[in-house]
Structures are given as C-alpha cells and as structure tokens.
Structure 1
C-alpha cells in the first residue's frame, strides 16, 4: 500500500526520486500523455524506508539495480495537479548503478512498465528550457549539495496535456 492518502480535494503523497547523471545528462521521465517532466521515482510503500523505495522503484521502472549514494533534498512540495491539491513529501537521492554504468541513449525510450512512462537523458545545461517539476530541479542539478537540503516548494499548477 502506497503512503498516499486521499481526502476530498487534497492528496498527501510520500515520494522518492532518483538523480541519475551520466556525461552531464540527467534522466527524466513523464507520463506519456503529459507535457511536463519529473525525475524518475515513485511512491513509498507504507512500512518501507525511503532508500529501499528508490532502489525498488528504479528496478521496477528501468530494470536497473542501483545503490543510494546520498540524500540530496528533502522537500515539502505543495502544488495543484488536475484540480487536486497535493501535499507531497519528497526525498531526492543521488543513485548509481551497482555494476557497470547507466545505459545512456540520446533518444527517448519507454521503461519496463510499457508505454505509460517516457524517459529521456537531457543535458543538465538545457533543463531551464524544459517544463520540469518541481521547478527547483531545473537549476539545482548544476551544483549538487554536499549535505542534504530541506526545501519548501510553494504552490504551482500542473494540468494534464498542457
């Protein structure tokens, strides 16, 4: 059971995300029918720690075994998605493959879950031109923090298909 709680007009969500970097490119993904991107990851399961969650999510989505290098950001993220208010706790981890390296490819591709999610390696220098949420990611990947940072991300709106 995901640590997501649905209320009348609000959703509380506990999410983890992976920061995977190769040759100054970061891997991002999106729902196939959306026009905005995010870092790969997913919801934490109740009674599962966040590091186990991110390892599981990357394995499920990309069939890659990773190890957690370090926590980069702990976020309290408040936004509107398709007319629902979200209060999201997010943990963003720098991860690396347990063997070899990430499969870097220039073209967009689908993950293990079929055509639901589209993945793309994007140059970090071009992130400011991409609709990427939460927005702090667009500039924060230029210089990763040495120690975990706590961020409060204020309201923004996302509409499917926009």
Structure 2
C-alpha cells in the first residue's frame, strides 16, 4: 500500500526519486500532457525505506539496475495540481550503476507511453520547467550531505 491519503481537497504523498547523472545529463521524466519535468521515482510503500523505493521504481519503470549512493535532499513540497492541494514529503537519492543507460532523445519506459523520459543536459535545466523548482539550481551542485528543503508554491 502506497503511503498517501486524502482529506477533502488536500492530499498527502510520500515520494522517493532518483538522481541519475551521466555525461553531464540528468535523467528526467514527465507525464505526456504535463509541461514540467521531474526526477523519476514513485510513492513509498508502507513499511518500505525510501531508498528501496527508488531502486524498485527504476527497475519497474525502466529495467535499470541502480544503487543508492546518498540522499542529498529531503523536501517538504506544498503545491497545487489537478484541482488538489498537495503536501508531499520527498526523498531525493543520488544513484549509481555498473552500466551506462544514457541515450539521446525522448523515450518511454516499460510501463507504456504515459511517461516520457529524457536525459537533459544539466547546463540546460533553466530552459525547461523542473519540479520541485529547487532542483533546477540544485542539480548543478548536488550536496554531499543531506539538506532539508521546504518548497511552498
């Protein structure tokens, strides 16, 4: 069971996302109809560690074998989306792998065409919309120690 719940128009979401960087590009994804990009990941399941969520999601969504290196950010993200106010707790983990997954151009994962994945040059992140917004600058200087971030939109 995913750790999420709704009260009226407010939703809580516990999410973990992976930061996979290769050749000065970061792997991002977006819903086909959305205008913003995000780090790949998913909802944490009850009783699951956030780092295990990221590894599981990367395997399920893309078939990628990855390991968590460290967690540079824990973010409390407050935003409005699709008619709901969200309070999201997000763990952002840097990932490492024994193989390269870099490829040019957009592509779809193993779960169909709902999500578009693309390796975006880190120095071009200002040219697209990345959510949460702290990642646009943050991915240029990923901290070595965990930082707590609060994002209020």
TM class, shorter-length: over 0.9
The residue that corresponds to 1:140 in the other structure is: 138
Unaligned runs of 5+ in 1: 156-162
The residue that corresponds to 2:3 in the other structure is: 3
How far did 1:106 drift? 1.3
Unaligned runs of 5+ in 2: none
**Are 2:94 and 1:94 equivalent residues in the alignment?**
yes
After TM superposition, the score normalised by the length of structure 2 is 0.98
Matches for 1:56-95 after TM superposition, within 5 Å: 56-95=56-95
Equivalent-residue separation in structure 2 for 1:113 and 1:96 (angstroms): 22
Higher strand share: 2
Residues 100-121 of structure 1, C-alpha deviations (whole Å, 9 max, x = no match)? 22x2111100001110110000
How far did 1:59 drift? 0.5
Equivalent-residue separation in structure 2 for 1:25 and 1:85 (angstroms): 31
Which among 106, 109, 115 is matched to residue 107 of structure 2?
A: 109
Equivalent-residue separation in structure 2 for 1:8 and 1:63 (angstroms): 36
After TM superposition, the score normalised by the length of structure 1 is 0.92
Matched residue pairs, number?
A: 153
Root-mean-square deviation (CA), in Å? 0.8
| Ranges of 4+ aligned residues in structure 1 off by more than 6 Å | none
